[in-house]
């Protein structure tokens, strides 16, 4: 796969060279045409009228000047094209190297697990704001269940990889679709957000997070994100952290289910999660509440969210 990726890039650079070469040839032809037409005009003038010696001399001087200017123009163009080739073709090829691996389209398992827990409180903030705008209680907006939306990604599940939802909840309030389409779209973007990860991060510990995520979101949405980091916010977030850490801890003990490497990834995610303070979590939730988070999933686009209904 690495060599195929490198080959495709080299083909792209070869195409650039060909295009620049064509441009250079076309410019040369244009200059030659202009030169020919100017020479023809001078010949026609000579035929129509015999010019005095001084004017003939001037014409020759002009012809010499014309040739000199065109040659300088050509030389300048050639130098400029050479610089373009060096900058946009040769240098990138040299910098690319032949041992460079193509960028991975999958997410590290530890990153994915932490991402899910951060998005949980961010989504809770968004849900809180949507509830305030629409006067629909949060527990009537979402519930525990399969996500009915999934991002259309450039790559699919397979080879030990799964398209794992980051926020696995079911959206209930269909009236949002017609009454508040912008808010409905915001919810579906988040509910359709997936990351390509190793199977174990989605099947085992991923299922544990799925089973708790809706309840966590509903609890975290009781926080007043319009104010500062209050005592109530601290208590709710602390309780959330403890429950999430228990999920991590329980899974690291399942040595009959996970491989050594997989347990090390769960432990890595746990260590990173422990370092996130209550204040930072609150700031994430507040960012969601203020609609400041711009959802732009990797290797897909906002428009590529499909309704799956019966898919996980």
The structure's pTM equals 0.62
Helix (H, G, I), strand (E, B) or coil at 101: coil
On whether the CB atoms of residues 306 and 153 are closer than 8 A, the answer is: no
pLDDT of residue 311: 36
- Helical axes 260-275 vs 109-134, angle rounded to 10°: 50
In the chain, domain spans = 1-34, 109-303
Q: What is the pLDDT along the chain (312 residues), one digit of tens a residue?
A: 444 555 556 666 666 667 676 766 766 676 677 667 666 766 666 665 555 555 555 555 666 666 666 676 666 666 666 666 666 655 665 555 444 444 457 889 999 999 999 999 999 999 999 999 999 999 999 988 766 665 555 555 556 788 888 888 888 877 788 899 999 988 888 777 888 999 999 989 999 999 999 999 999 999 999 999 999 999 999 999 999 999 999 999 999 999 999 999 999 999 999 999 999 999 999 999 999 977 665 544 444 444 444 333
At CB < 8 A and 24+ separation, what contacts does 229-238 make? 229/278, 229/279, 229/282, 233/278, 233/282, 234/278, 237/121, 237/278, 237/281, 237/282, 238/278
In whole angstroms, give the CA distance from residue 101 to residue 73: 43
DSSP 89: I
Helix (H, G, I), strand (E, B) or coil at 171: strand
- Work out the number of other CB atoms within 10 angstroms of the CB of residue 253: 10
């Amino acid at each position: 796969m690495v060599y195929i990726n490198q080959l495709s890039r080299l083909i792209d650079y070869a195409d650039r060279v060909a295009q620049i070469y064509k441009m250079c040839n076309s410019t040369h032809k244009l200059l030659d045409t202009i030169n020919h037409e100017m020479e023809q005009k001078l010949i026609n003038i000579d035929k129509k009228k015999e010019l005095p010696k001084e004017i003939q001399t001037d014409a020759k001087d002009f012809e010499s000047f014309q040739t000199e200017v065109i040659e300088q123009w050509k030389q300048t163009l050639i130098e400029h094209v050479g610089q373009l080739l060096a900058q946009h073709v040769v240098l990138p090829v040299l910098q690319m190297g032949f041992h460079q691996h193509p960028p991975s389209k999958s997410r590290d398992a530890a990153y994915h697990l932490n991402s899910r827990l951060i998005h949980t409180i961010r989504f809770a903030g968004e849900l809180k704001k949507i509830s305030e705008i629409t006067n629909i209680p949060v527990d009537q907006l979402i519930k525990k269940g399969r996500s009915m939306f999934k991002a259309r990604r450039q790559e699919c599940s397979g080879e030990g990889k799964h398209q794992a939802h980051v926020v696995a909840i079911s959206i209930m309030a269909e009236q949002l679709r017609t009454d508040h389409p912008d808010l409905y779209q915001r919810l579906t973007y988040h509910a359709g957000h997936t990351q390509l990860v190793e199977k174990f991060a989605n099947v085992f510990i991923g299922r544990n997070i799925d089973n708790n995520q809706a309840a966590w979101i509903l609890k975290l949405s009781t926080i007043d994100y319009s104010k500062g980091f209050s005592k109530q916010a601290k208590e709710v977030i602390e309780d959330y952290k403890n429950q999430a850490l228990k999920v991590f801890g329980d899974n690291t003990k399942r040595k009959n289910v996970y491989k050594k490497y997989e347990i090390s990834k769960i432990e890595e995610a746990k260590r990173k999660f422990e370092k996130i303070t209550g204040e930072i979590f609150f700031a994430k939730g507040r960012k969601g509440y203020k609609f400041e988070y711009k959802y732009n999933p990797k290797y897909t686009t906002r428009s590529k969210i499909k309704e799956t209904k019966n898919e996980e």
